Amino acid sequence: MTELDPRDLSETEYAAVTAELETLADDQFVVAERYTDWQTRGPTLEADIAVANIAQDEYGHARLWYDLLEDLGHTEQELIWERDPASFRHATLLELGYETGGWADCVLRGYLYDVFEQLHLGALEETTYPRIADRLGKVQGEEGYHREHTESWLDRLTEDAAPGDEALVRLQAALDRLYPHALTLFEPTEHETQIVELGVRSTPLADLRGDWLAITTPFLGGLGLDVPDPELPESGVRGRDGTHTDDWERLYNEFTYTYEMLDREPRKLLVDPDEVGG
């Protein structure tokens, strides 16, 4: 397939590359944002530090993908701070708030996302967009470590657990709640056909779902969990098409709070006579 020229993209190519980069960047940004919910709240000091490490890796990856969007002429302001919350393309799995004490949710969500992320990045190895190819290796290395971290936590929580033990009950409740939202990871943006046809990503996201189920189902079953039927959220939210849960709106309002507050001087104050010549 023809390699795309970042400096000379047709309108269709531009839209496809943008949608794929937004999907990558927004997933990472929002997953990082939620990991930081656990900073200072981890079950041990060591868990706290590990979660902070992962959050910073994910922010770093988000920045790397947002950088590629900046190369296409966007600014960080447009890509994050002044962006319409209904145009973010992350999966709804990543935006959900945690219940107090919901460490099971944290590590399980991390695992479900990490497996997806590895498949997603794998599907980009043949990308026709050279700038994505350049950055893939670094991200893949770190994501491998994240998956080890979440898998090892899931193992530890369920080790020697008998049915009815608190850890298992909590993990099962988290799985039931998260599972439909995890499936939104495989939902397309409106540019999916062009993304695949132009080879930005050679495999449709929907095709990664089978691989994901083949990995996660036996692993979760092995922990003693019942994997629900794969059904999308009943509420109809799908994430990558811009439909999100109420948790997203709250999160968005929180992370844009300072940005909105800073430097928002009403225009008339700029010509306040007291300031003139002062």
Partner 1 sequence: MNIEQVKERAGPREFGPSDEMPEPYRKAATRMIQFHANSEIMGALIERPFIRQAPSLERKLAVSAQVQDEIGHGQLLYRAAEQLGVKTREEMLDELADGRGKFLNCFHYPLDHWYELPMIMFFVDGAAMRRQASLKRTSWEPYAHAIDKICFEEGFHIKHGEDILREIATGSRRDKELLQDAFEKWWPRILQFFGPTDDDSTHGGFAQEVGLKTMSNDDLRNAFLNAYLPKAEKYGLEIPEYPRIEYDESRDHYEIENSDLDWAEFETVSKNEYPPGREQIDSRGRRQEAVDWVREAIMDDSTTAVTGTTGAAAD
State the residues that interact with partner 1 by CB under 8 A. Answer: 29, 32-33, 36, 39-49, 52-53, 55-56, 59-60, 62-63, 66, 76, 80-81, 100-101, 103, 152-153, 156-157, 159-161, 165-167, 170, 254-255, 257-259, 261-265, 269, 272, 275
**Nearest approach, Cβ of 48 to partner 1 (angstroms)?**
5
Residue whose structure tokens are 């960047």: 25
Query: In residues, how long is the chain?
Result: 278
**Nearest approach, Cβ of 10 to partner 1 (angstroms)?**
30
**Nearest approach, Cβ of 119 to partner 1 (angstroms)?**
26
Looking at the Cβ atoms of 60 and 230, the one nearer to partner 1 is: 60
Looking at the Cβ atoms of 2 and 100, the one nearer to partner 1 is: 100
* Distance from chain centroid for Cα 164: 32
CA distance 27 to 109: 13
CA distance 254 to 256: 6
Q: Collect contacts of 155-163 with beta carbons under 8 A, ≥24 apart.
A: 155/223, 157/104, 157/107, 158/223, 158/224, 161/224, 163/224
**Nearest approach, Cβ of 105 to partner 1 (angstroms)?**
12
Q: Is 184 exposed, middle or buried (0-12, 13-18, 19+ CB in 10 A)?
A: buried
